[in-house]
Structure 1
Amino acid sequence: MPDETPTASDPHDADLPADAWSGVHRGPLRAGEWVRLTDQKGRRHNFELVPGKRFFSNRGHIEHDELIGREEGFTVASSAGGEYLVFRPLLSEFVVSMPRGAAVVYPKDAAQIVATADIFPGAHVVEAGVGSGALTCSLLRAVGPWGRVSSYERREEFADVARANVRQFFGGDHPAWSLTIGDLAEALPASGERVDRIILDMLAPWDCLEAAAGALRPGGIVCAYVATTTQLSRFVETVRAHGGFTEPAAWESLVRDWHVEGLAVRPGHKMIGHTAFLVTARRMAPGARPPVKKRRPAPGAYGPDYTGPRPADLPPQVLDQSFDA
């Protein structure tokens, strides 16, 4: 966090306390903060404010000193007459423009994970696959400085990018975050930790399900973030076959913007379509199993062409190789 905090004339406009670790500031823009400039065509530029430096674009330059000390939410003109809107970047804006090692979890999915996995202040959340740190920022904000986020990443180069991005957003090393280089399937059982939530953002989340089951408290939630239908099927069926979780719920979210000008109201031409599937399930108490589903699977769903995990107590006709679907 920056050491010097500009004072506000109104105490209600004072900056947030540093120990809140929100990644958000109030009051005048200050050196060391990041700002987001948006031009008249919607093009966006994020950069750190440094006294004496200049921001350059195809519309000339802007002195950083022209921005420092002003309240956000103003327009500024470049040396060649370009107009820019100046704000501090929101978390949702920061993550889509941050430097990337791996693909980022988009804001629409991060919001779904925080809500449906019920990430709460003080929770201990395990994240497998830190990527570029986008989801990590949302998890840290949700658990607060009194919670814990334990991230596991196999690749050192991804971990380095994530560390830099998380530090950039929060202004320092968040006290609730730990990052381990290694495989969660081995490292989490070895730690002996008991946790509230586990988020699996990786190619083969089913490989970590046994470790997740051993670490989750009863009532805890496992949430997988997978890109393809084959990954979705494999993970869901692995959860069912395990028997120690509730029936998994799977879904995706699509976001479509709208064009609104007077009577011209129509869907926009841009859309954030498929990014990933989300799957959640809750951990049962030790030795307990969920009720057997009343609804039968579709004929042939687990027939001879299906080679994945099979849930227990399937009706015989579903498994009959001679059954004609």
Structure 2
Amino acid sequence: MTPVLSQDNIFNYGDYVLIYLDRKRRILAKLEQNKRISSDKGVIIADNIVGKEKGSQIVTSLNIKAWALKPLLVDYIEKGIKRVTQVIYPKDLGFIIFMLGIESGARVLEAGVGSGNTTIVLAHFVKPTGHVYGYDNREDFLKIARNNIAKLGLENFVTLKYGDVRKGVDEKNLDAAVVDIPDPWEALNTIYNSLKPSAPVAFFIPSVQQLLKLYEALEDFKGFTDIRAFELILREYELSKTSIRPSTHIVGHTGFIMFARKIIKSL
């Protein structure tokens, strides 16, 4: 008996697909009528994917086998968004989400939206009942971020605002904050006033000098505790039946993560 396929597991026009040719060739594309999806291994016609079950094998115009996969969040982050700023890598984003305890229903402040990369990840985890409030002092960045967020259908879980977080934000009693600006020590008062007592904050810092300056500022501010700093190094392994070894490519230093929790200041 032929199984009845759920429509949710079938590719339709308007869906995004990840075409997996090999580890180095992954193409994220939107399925549109008559659309040609090109690669160095040949062309794939979008119409030939529509109606297929997700996970099905397809072939290019050069008769090269590929797989039509449902995109994951990491695929959108790596292949699907327009970048106009340096973004936080997935290895760091995952750790930040874990450390901050981000979950559905959380209300989160993001200081420094940039291309919307972090915003998308935060919105993915706080939906459907939570919300992300993102601030940036560049209107051009906010416009690009809005388009990237809409691509994943997350706009209902995000409010983007033009503003300087160092001068304050509108929101109070938030569950967590992510800060990615060049001088986060200038925004400590804003972050403190926006968070619930005991709520955590993660700062993404590119250099040791900035890390030291932020640590000294947090200590002097006396409104945060459990101050910790981390650096994550990620190395993939090359896999084959004849040899398994570390990849020669490594995602090394991308930035430092400083973590702290708000406390009630002593008189």
Superposition TM-score, scaled by structure 2 size:
0.92
SS in 2 for 1:246: strand
The 1:236–1:53 alpha-carbon spacing in structure 2 relative to 1, beyond 3 Å, is same
1:37 maps to which residue?
19
2:53 maps to which residue?
71
2:236 maps to which residue?
257
| 1:146 equivalent in alignment to 2:141 | no
Unpaired runs of 5+ residues, structure 1, are 1-7, 16-26, 289-325
Q: Report deviation, 1:218.
A: 0.7
2:252 maps to which residue?
273
Structure 2: distance between partners of 1:56 and 1:141: 29
1:206 maps to which residue?
185
Q: Report deviation, 1:238.
A: 0.7
SS in 2 for 1:116: helix
Q: Report deviation, 1:105.
A: 1.5
Structure 1 contact 218–286 (Cα < 8 Å) conserved: no
- Partner letter of residue 207 of structure 1? E
SS in 1 for 2:54: coil
Structure 1: distance between partners of 2:160 and 2:231: 28
Structure 1: distance between partners of 2:171 and 2:14: 40
Q: Report deviation, 1:75.
A: 2.4
Structure 1 contact 130–153 (Cα < 8 Å) conserved: yes
Structure 2 contact 146–155 (Cα < 8 Å) conserved: no
User: What CA deviation, in whole Å up to 9, does each residue of 1:110-161 have, x standing for no partner?
Assistant: 1011100111221110001112112111111211121111000111111111
Q: Report deviation, 1:235.
A: 0.9
Which of 4, 9, 12 lines up with 1:9 in the alignment? 4
The 1:99–1:210 alpha-carbon spacing in structure 2 relative to 1, beyond 3 Å, is same
| 1:220 equivalent in alignment to 2:199 | yes
Which of 153, 156, 170 lines up with 2:139 in the alignment? 156
Which of 212, 218, 224 lines up with 1:245 in the alignment? 224
- Partner letter of residue 114 of structure 1? I
Q: How does 1:162-201 map to 2 (within 5 A)?
A: 162-170=145-153, 174-188=155-169, 191=170, 193-201=172-180
Q: Report deviation, 1:54.
A: 1.8
Structure 1: distance between partners of 2:240 and 2:84: 39
Q: Report deviation, 1:14.
A: 6.2
Q: Report deviation, 1:262.
A: 4.3
User: What CA deviation, in whole Å up to 9, does each residue of 1:217-268 have, x standing for no partner?
Assistant: 1101111001111111111111111011104100111111112334633211
Which of 223, 235, 249 lines up with 2:214 in the alignment? 235
Instruction: Report how many aligned residue pairs link the two structures.
Output: 264
Structure 1 contact 149–177 (Cα < 8 Å) conserved: yes
Larger proportion of strand: 2
1:287 maps to which residue?
266
- Partner letter of residue 69 of structure 1? G
Structure 2 contact 28–75 (Cα < 8 Å) conserved: no
User: What CA deviation, in whole Å up to 9, does each residue of 1:277-317 have, x standing for no partner?
Assistant: 101111112437xxxxxxxxxxxxxxxxxxxxxxxxxxxxx
The 1:285–1:203 alpha-carbon spacing in structure 2 relative to 1, beyond 3 Å, is same
Q: Report deviation, 1:40.
A: 4.1
Structure 2 contact 85–115 (Cα < 8 Å) conserved: yes
| 1:86 equivalent in alignment to 2:68 | yes
Structure 1: distance between partners of 2:15 and 2:239: 34
Structure 1 contact 122–146 (Cα < 8 Å) conserved: yes
Structure 2 contact 223–262 (Cα < 8 Å) conserved: yes
Bigger CA radius of gyration: 1
Structure 1: distance between partners of 2:10 and 2:184: 44
The 1:212–1:165 alpha-carbon spacing in structure 2 relative to 1, beyond 3 Å, is same
Provide the identity percentage: 30
- Partner letter of residue 38 of structure 1? Y
- Partner letter of residue 92 of structure 1? V
1:121 maps to which residue?
104
